A = this chain, B = another copy of it.
Amino acid sequence: MVDILHRVGIKAPVDAVYKALATRDGVAAWWTKDTQGESKVGGELRFRFSAGGVEIGGVEVKVVELDPSKQVLWQVIGGPDEWIGTKIGWELRQEGEYAIVLFKHQGWKEPVEFMHHCSTKWATFLLSLKALVETGKGAPAPRDVKIDSWD
């Protein structure tokens, strides 16, 4: 089992970061605009991604933990084969003027090339989250940062 790990520091109260991770409208403002479902423990969220107006992929998750200002954890129940059963989580804490975000996308079976892609892509989305909370404007799909030929 191999994991994707990231860390960003966001100049904001940790509550503001939590809100951007724990609510549907929050996630839609930094990951993908096409976010549907209910962000509550046991609820499901559905994400769609498109490029040039064509849908290129989707992900469905079950919300496993919502611990205010401390943690958000999802389990992937639909999407790319390699994602099924993996867990996506954010641990939060305040450190001075920074909200520190530790991100983990855990439980990949193999370090396939697609995992390399997703690792870089998650970094860009975490910087989108940082921009959203610090400036009010994120870069969710379809306005996301393009990194390679799979975007």
Interface residues of chain A, those whose CB is within 8 Å of chain B, are 2-9, 95-96, 98, 100, 102-103, 111, 113, 115-117, 119-120, 123-124, 126-127, 130, 145, 147-151
The listed residue (B7, B113, B117, B149) touching A148 by CB distance below 8 A is B7
**With A2-B2, A2-B3 in contact, is A9–B103 under 8 Å at CB?**
no
Q: Is B7 in contact with A117, judged by CB distance below 8 angstroms?
A: yes
Which residues of B lie under 8 Å from residue A127 when comparing CB positions? 120, 124, 145, 147
Q: Is B2 in contact with A119, judged by CB distance below 8 angstroms?
A: no
Which residues of B lie under 8 Å from residue A8 when comparing CB positions? 120, 147-148
Q: Is B123 in contact with A103, judged by CB distance below 8 angstroms?
A: no
Which residues of B lie under 8 Å from residue A124 when comparing CB positions? 123, 127
Q: Is B100 in contact with A7, judged by CB distance below 8 angstroms?
A: no
